[in-house]
Chains A and B, each alone.
Chain A
Amino acid sequence: MKSIRSKLAIATCTLLSQGAQQAGAVESSWTADTSYLLYSETDRVTVNKLFTSANVTLGDNHLLQLEAVYDTITGATPTGAVKSGGPVTVTTPSSGGKGYRAVSGNPALAKFDDTRLGLNLGLVQSLRRTLRINYGASVSVERDYEAYGGSLALERDNEDRSVTFTAGVAGSYDTIFQSSGGTPKPMGSVEENGGNPEFFGPGKKRGFEGMLGVSRIINRRTVARLNYSLKRLEGYLTDPYKVISMVREGIELRRFYESRPDSRQRQALYGELVHRLENRDTIRLAYRYYWDDWGIFSHTIDYRHRRNLLGGRYLEPRLRLYTQSSADFFYPSLPFGVEPEYASADYRLDQMNSATLGLKYGQPALGGTLRLRLEYLYQTFAEAEYDTNQALIFQASFKKEFD
């Protein structure tokens, strides 16, 4: 009996020391989580991603977070040109043999390959029992893209730690260029100067972001959170590889590099609810409403249902549904004689619906936790030259805590 009382006392003290959002994080000196991800589209892009993270406790008041990611990306992606493109020489946006190359006989699709190395560093400092500050820094480098960022977030619990308020800001500075070095003139003709169009230097993009959030213990079986985020991007927001065709009666007459506005304001409301059912299953429901000043509005619903099995194993089916409107300057192609200031045929700016269906399996292994997930992504686009996209997603992760 004394032993049980002692264990209960220890458990109570542990719980008292934790906030609403991290009610159950197990104390440990460090934790490592390593993943392999395969993302494979039908006849298009394949991504292999390796990433690892480590959380290291430094004394009573500091937690150091390190993340490293390495991606290899190969395959073919839509250029924005129409499939029926005739005699116009396909744009060779890039790249010393390592960027885009036209897929033989199909100007609407371009082969490419790239690698990406990213590092994130975070430090969580407990200032008081109910107040934490998170510092973050990130760097990501590809052959044709560099990104640097920093963030600062405050987390404040109420006295009984049933509510946590979060306020965060972040800034980023990115450099974009074709892997040959420059960026094409927006709405510049691909064929001008005998196929040597005007190019500028690398594009610069600055980002400023703010977020307010609240998470709350609803009852003994439920926790929820609500976030609002605002992000402003300024600078070169165009994709230097994408083009758009000018078409008359189904025949491509000319081809231009795309052009996007030099600012974008993105806002999102995000809510998430986690609930334990009476049968010990856990359901997780998230919803996001997103809107920006490019004319894109979207709804995202993400539902996970975790069925606990014997021996710490579990199965977790997932359904994610997404729908968005098109950007104001999206055109599948330009009618003859129309040359707007901004135009893009990028399928990601088209009206789209997207569904992901998947299953995750988890079990204890080698003193840690093994997770495997397999998902199928299906996207449909209203007007883009390629009106569907399908992908398989496989991820294997292993997490282990060390004392």
Chain B
Amino acid sequence: MNRSGTLLLCALCISLQACAAFRLEPVKPWQRGILAQEAMQLEADPAERFADEHIYFSKEGSTGGRAVGGGGCGCN
């Protein structure tokens, strides 16, 4: 098998694994033990997010997407 074929096969395997990992399944409340852990929260570290939003708002031309509101600044 040539190199591009090997890469294609690898990509296919990874895609199949990803599909299996992210398959939609009903989850009963008593099956949410992993989801209840701190590391699995969508807002796992608000202090880091708060700092990042200030940094990248000040240094890039884009902002927003995660939430509404919050204080502005005239940052340079």
Contacts and interface: CB of A to CB of B under 8 A. Distances in A.
B68 interface: yes
A147 B27 contact: no
Interface in A328-349: 348-349
A23 B32 contact: yes
A225 interface: yes
A142 B75 CA distance: 10
Given A24-B36, A217-B35, A306-B39, A222 B60 contact: no
Interface in B20-76: 21-27, 29-48, 50-51, 54-56, 59-76
B47 A33 contact: yes
Contacts of A101: none
Interface in A215-257: 215, 217-223, 225, 227, 229, 231, 239, 241
Contact of B22 (A24, A211, A219): A219
B39 A290 contact: no
B65 A352 contact: no
B69 A168 contact: yes
Interface residues of B, number: 50
A354 B43 CA distance: 24
Contacts of A371: 45, 47-48
A172 interface: yes
B64 A266 contact: yes
A259 interface: no
A193 interface: no
Nearest to A397: B47
A352 B60 CA distance: 8
Main secondary structure of the interface of A (DSSP, over half): strand
Contacts, number: 221
Nearest to A275: B21
Contact of A24 (B35, B61, B70, B71): B35
A210 B68 contact: yes
A153 B67 CA distance: 9
Contact of A23 (B35, B60, B72, B73): B35
Nearest to A145: B74
Contacts of B48: 360, 371, 373, 395, 397
B51 A395 contact: yes
A274 B51 contact: no
Contacts of A165: none
Given A24-B41, A138-B71, A274-B42, A221 B34 contact: yes
A223 B61 contact: no
Contact of A162 (B27, B36, B45): B27
Contact of A53 (B29, B35, B47): B47
A288 B36 contact: no
Interface of A: 8, 11-12, 14-16, 18, 21-25, 33, 35, 37, 39, 45, 49, 51, 53, 67, 69, 73, 77, 112, 116, 118-120, 136, 138-140, 142, 144-145, 147, 149-151, 153, 160-162, 168-170, 172, 174, 176, 207, 209-211, 215, 217-223, 225, 227, 229, 231, 239, 241, 266, 268-270, 272-276, 282, 284, 288, 290, 292, 294, 296, 298, 300, 306, 308, 314, 322, 324, 327, 348-349, 352, 354, 360, 371, 373, 377, 379, 389, 391, 393, 395, 397, 399
Given A15-B36, A120-B71, A223-B42, 8 more contacts: A23-B41, A149-B72, A153-B67, A217-B32, A219-B22, A220-B34, A270-B66, A274-B44
9 contacts: A22-B41, A24-B36, A147-B72, A147-B73, A176-B74, A274-B41, A274-B42, A275-B22, A395-B47
